[in-house]
Amino acid sequence: MGIFDSISEAIFGKANAAPVPPSAPTSTTTTAQAPQTPQTPQAPQAPAPAEPKAAPSAQAVDIAAVLEKAVAAKNQKLHWRTSIVDLMKALDLDSGLEARKKLAKELHYTGDTNDSAKMNVWLHKALMKKLADNGGKVPADLLD
């Protein structure tokens, strides 16, 4: 499993672990039919197609809410909105340089991975975009 997969699983998994309200039941009522007689057979009716159930990833997950909750559970001040390191710490993931370099490779970073400050800024922005692309609701100010 890659670093992005770990981040995605931590975020979307935490969001999907929350109780989900039951979906509205599909209607199974039938209309009154005329009594059938042997002389007028009626073709069997196909059952109405079931309403598709949305997959958990199809629902927009509020990334900010999940991360704020994760940060609140920590005993330290973490700035996940501006720091890739703090974001990874909030999710209990390895935030070390090697893990970030691995994430940079996964997200196709073309810059110098030895310039960690520049790479970190790029990683944070690229991660927010990728989370949004994968069903996350990311605050607009983090997508610019």
pLDDT tens-digit map of 6-51: 999 999 986 665 544 444 444 444 444 555 555 555 554 544 444 3
3-state SS string for 59-127: CCEEHHHHHHHHHHCCCCCCCCCCCHHHHHHHCCCCCCHHHHHHHHHHCCCCCCCCCHHHHHHHHHHHH
Q: How confident is the model at residue 61 (pLDDT cuts 50, 70, 90)?
A: very high
Task: Summarize the confidence of residues 94-100 as an average pLDDT.
Answer: 98
80: closest CA among 14, 114, 18, 70?
70
Q: Where are the domains of the chain?
A: 1-14+57-134
**93 pLDDT more than 50:** yes
pLDDT in tens, 100-133: 999 999 999 999 999 999 999 999 999 999 999 9
Residues in contact with 114: Cβ distance below 8 Å, sequence separation at least 6, in sequence order: none
Mean per-residue pLDDT for 75-82? 95
